[in-house]
Amino acid sequence: MIELSVGRIAEIVAGRSVGDPEALVTSPVVIDSRHVPPGGLFVALRGERADGHDHVDGAAGQGAAAALVDHDLPGAPVPLVVVDDVTAALGRLARHVHDVLAAGGLTTLALTGSAGKTSTKDLLAHVLDPAGPTVAPEGSFNNEWGVPLTVLRADRSTRYLVVEMGARGLGHIATLCQIAPPDVAAVLNVGTAHVGEFGGLELTARAKGEIVEALRPAGTAVLNLDDDRVRAMRSRTAASVLGFGADPAAAVRLASLALDASGFPALTLVHAGESVEVVLPQLGLHHGANAAAAVSMAVAAGVPFREAAARLGTATPRSPHRMARHVTEDGVVVVDDAYNANPESMAAAVTWLADTAGHRGVAVLGAMLELGDESAELHRRVGELARRSGLRSVVVVGADAAPIAAGAGDIAVVVADVTEAVEHLRASLHPEDVVLVKASRGGRLERVVDALRAPNRHTAGGPPPL
């Protein structure tokens, strides 16, 4: 965050200041009163379960310099900036800070896609770090709150700003690009995630393509040439296009991709006559495309190809619950991919499990949300894939995920909730089994991972309980 007075912030966001207008905000903007840094700006958002206005006093106690609110709070212990719409004001403040930093040389790299956004964002941040100070979202901060909060973590020393952009409908990404106009914009893929909200794949493609429409002619669109809907976005931008993928026409070509003995993707990337072989220390073949996208974006930002590609070899996962590997005290491997799920990412994870563990593999799967009328069929296909892949069992958690069991047939075990899932796993797992846990984030299946990792957890072939 660049240093701004309360009075200046009020001018920027078209609000009014209450209290000392000369008070300075010197630290990042936050929406959680428990994590306000000294000198930070607390933004009082209204959520489904809490109203930030009830926590202004707590934010002040943590050292907040001021609060952004939508109504007067008599007796507030910090200066206030009062606006009609806190979310809109947050976006305006972020755009102002972005414009100041862009004038000083900041390069903004934005990406979207139906799957792989967060993993690619993390890879890109890792690749960019040696080239200059880099700010990237923590986790999946990719909406109308997350994007401005990411921008407002940048300061005058920041060279690269990485922004993940999500959408639930037309116009959402265009709005986010107004907050953080990109210099480099990537579209990873167009898939069935949120297809129920978009209304079909063509509308999904229209929404995702808004990110390249936002580029200036001097910018670069980074497009996955292996996805026909993404390839077609070349006509939607005045910027130059850098293609990636296995397609022979790709500027950054994924020339080979295979799992090594540890389940990590070993890949060869080729660009401008140079070839780099690297093993990415993350689980799953699907990370090959993510790696190619990250390197392509870095190249578009001026990072030498060989340096960017070689950097992948040290890129361990940054965000939680994304193919994170754990080994329990009695030798069960638990892979936590419980943050989110869609048909493409679910298929990729199940395929990885089958390739890595075969009949030792157990998939614990919950529902995939926001799939509309296709939901039952898309769930059933996941179950069919698991059955064909030779896994030992599929534990289907919750009624919404039931169609997975229909596809999985006799290898399916249906349980009502996380508690029943844990009870079944504790009674049936053996040392050296590999357990994949995956669902959309509403399923809270990370609790299965936590329970299996707890000390003294007993597996069927392990030591007796204490």
- pLDDT tens digit string along 87-107? 999 999 999 999 999 999 999
Q: Where do we find the tokens 């040392």?
A: 431
- Tell me the mean pLDDT in the region 144-170: 95
- What is the Cα–Cα distance from 20 to 189, expressed in whole angstroms? 49
- Please report, for residues 350, 353, 397, 406, the alpha-carbon distance to residue 409 in angstroms, rounded to integers and kept in the order given: 16, 18, 15, 6
Quick: pLDDT tens for 411-427.
999 999 999 999 999 99
**pLDDT one-digit tens code per residue, 266-303:** 999 999 999 999 999 988 888 999 999 999 999 999 99
Mean of per-residue pLDDT scores for the chain: 92
Q: Which of 239, 222, 240 is nearest to 231 (CA)?
A: 222
Give yes or no for residue 244 having a pLDDT over 90: yes
Residue type (1 letter), 146: G
**CA-to-CA distance for 114 and 341, rounded, in angstroms?**
10
pLDDT digits (tens, 9 = 90+) for 39-59: 999 999 998 888 999 999 999
- Find residue 244's DSSP bridge partners: 224, 252
What pLDDT does residue 464 have? 33
Q: Which amino acid is at 282?
A: Q
Residue 457's pLDDT is what?
Answer: 52
- pLDDT-derived band of residue 259, with 50, 70 and 90 as boundaries? confident
Per-residue pLDDT band at 151 (split at 50, 70, 90): very high
Q: How far is Cα 33 from Cα 22, in angstroms, rounded to an integer?
A: 22
Q: Is the CB of residue 123 less than 8 Å from the CB of residue 315? A: yes
Would you state the pLDDT for residue 263? 78
Tokens of 395: 């534990």
Q: How confident is the model at residue 461 (pLDDT cuts 50, 70, 90)?
A: very low
